[in-house]
């Protein structure tokens, strides 16, 4: 389980997280939604140890990871897979080398085993024939799939998705969501996803957390969030313009 307690983070005078609390159950898909610039990606960067909070703490299976550095933090990260917003594929490497990279460098597997697992990982995300292509030579949807394959190839326990469908058309959004759902059913990892895709994410999430002004204002199963009477939540999931009153 991932537990966030009273997380506070400011950049200069701008307070982004203001005492945020959240619990992510092991094996679940938890989706964090909220307005752009509301601190969702900042929260995610705290969970993966790329940012240190000004206050509060993050616990993974009961062990605090805030304040960890060097090898201790790397030990936690070995359990992680991360799909970044833009994919963050290494543009100097082919798609296959991107997927192979964590196997070679992180797990130090022999060449034959790496090749076998890369082939399986790319097939798993429905990609064949792109092995020798560079990220710049494939479409946005394919890049996301390669990024997912790279994040999952080491069989992590916890996978973070930072807006994995940004910039994709609605068909690809659904395709990627169902791909994530299918992979989750098969591999049983804990997924934490930041997303804007409403209502699509309600189909794949076990838990939805709504982040507003640096705090989680509502958390629960998709049905409960959709039926929420909280004005902020209703306004957000209905996409009502700023200042409009919820009915």
Partner 1 sequence: MTEQPLPLALRPLDAIGRWAIASVEALGRFGTFLGEAVGVILTPPFKFWALIDRINFIGYRSLLIILLTGGFTGMVLGLQVYLTLVRFGSEAFLGPAVALSLIRELGPVLSALMVTGRAGSALTAEIGIMRITEQIDALTVMALNPVRYLVAPSMLAGLVTFPLMTALFDTVGIFGGYVVGVELLGLSQGTYFGEMQTFVDMQDIMMGFWKSLSFGVIVTWVCTYKGFTVGHGAEGVAKATTDAVVLSSVLILVWDYFMGSVLR
The answer to whether the bond into 199 is cis (omega within 30° of 0) is: yes
Question: How far from the centroid of its chain's Cα atoms is residue 34's Cα?
Answer: 14
Q: Pick one of 22, 33, 39, 84: the residue that binds partner 1 (CB under 8 A).
A: 84
Site for partner 1 (CB under 8 A): how many residues? 20
Query: Residue 77 or 145: which CB sits closer to partner 1?
Result: 77
Query: Residue 78 or 132: which CB sits closer to partner 1?
Result: 78
Query: Residue 61 or 75: which CB sits closer to partner 1?
Result: 75
Strand partners, 220: 208
**Rounded to whole angstroms, how far apart are CA atoms 47 and 79?**
12
101 binds partner 1 (CB under 8 A): yes
Count CA within 13 A, CB hemisphere, residue 187. 25
Of 24-32, 98-106, 165-173, 181-189, the window that binds partner 1 (rule: CB under 8 A) is 98-106
102 binds partner 1 (CB under 8 A): yes
> Pattern of binders to partner 1 over 10-39, x per CB under 8 A?
------------------------------
**Rounded to whole angstroms, how far apart are CA atoms 202 and 177?**
10
Query: Residue 47 or 208: which CB sits closer to partner 1?
Result: 47
> Pattern of binders to partner 1 over 44-83, x per CB under 8 A?
----xxx-----------------------xx-xx-x-x-
**Rounded to whole angstroms, how far apart are CA atoms 9 and 214?**
9
What are the strands, taking DSSP E only, across the chain? 2-11, 14-24, 29-34, 55-60, 63-64, 80-83, 158-162, 190-194, 207-212, 215-220
Query: Residue 85 or 174: which CB sits closer to partner 1?
Result: 85
**Rounded to whole angstroms, how far apart are CA atoms 156 and 188?**
10
Q: At what angle do helices 140-152 and 95-105 cross, to 10 degrees?
A: 20
155 binds partner 1 (CB under 8 A): no
Q: Pick one of 19, 27, 55, 86: the residue that binds partner 1 (CB under 8 A).
A: 86
105 binds partner 1 (CB under 8 A): yes
**Chain contacts with partner 1 (rule: CB under 8 A):** 48-50, 74-75, 77-78, 80, 82, 84-86, 88-91, 101-102, 105-106
């Amino acid at each position: 389980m991932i537990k966030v307690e009273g997380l506070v983070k400011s950049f200069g005078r701008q307070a982004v997280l203001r005492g945020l609390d959240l619990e992510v159950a092991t094996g679940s898909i938890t989706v964090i939604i909220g307005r752009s610039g509301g601190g969702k990606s900042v929260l995610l960067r705290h969970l993966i140890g790329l940012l240190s909070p000004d206050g509060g703490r993050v616990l993974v299976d009961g062990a605090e990871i805030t304040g960890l550095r060097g090898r201790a933090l790397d030990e936690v990260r070995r359990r992680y897979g991360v799909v970044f917003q833009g994919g963050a594929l290494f543009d100097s490497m082919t798609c296959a080398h991107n997927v192979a990279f964590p196997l070679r460098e992180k797990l130090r597997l022999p060449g034959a085993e790496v090749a076998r697992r890369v082939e399986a990982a790319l097939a798993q995300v429905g990609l064949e024939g792109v092995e020798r292509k560079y990220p710049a030579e494939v479409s946005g949807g394919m890049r996301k799939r390669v990024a997912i394959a790279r994040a999952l190839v080491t069989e992590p326990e916890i996978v973070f998705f930072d807006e994995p469908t940004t910039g994709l058309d609605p068909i690809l959004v659904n395709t990627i969501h169902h791909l994530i759902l299918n992979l989750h059913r098969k591999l049983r990892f804990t997924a934490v996803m930041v997303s804007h895709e409403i209502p699509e994410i309600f189909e794949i999430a076990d838990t939805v957390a709504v982040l507003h002004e640096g705090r989680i204002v509502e958390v629960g199963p998709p049905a409960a969030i959709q039926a929420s009477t909280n004005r902020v939540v209703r306004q957000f999931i209905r996409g009502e313009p700023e200042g409009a009153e919820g009915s």
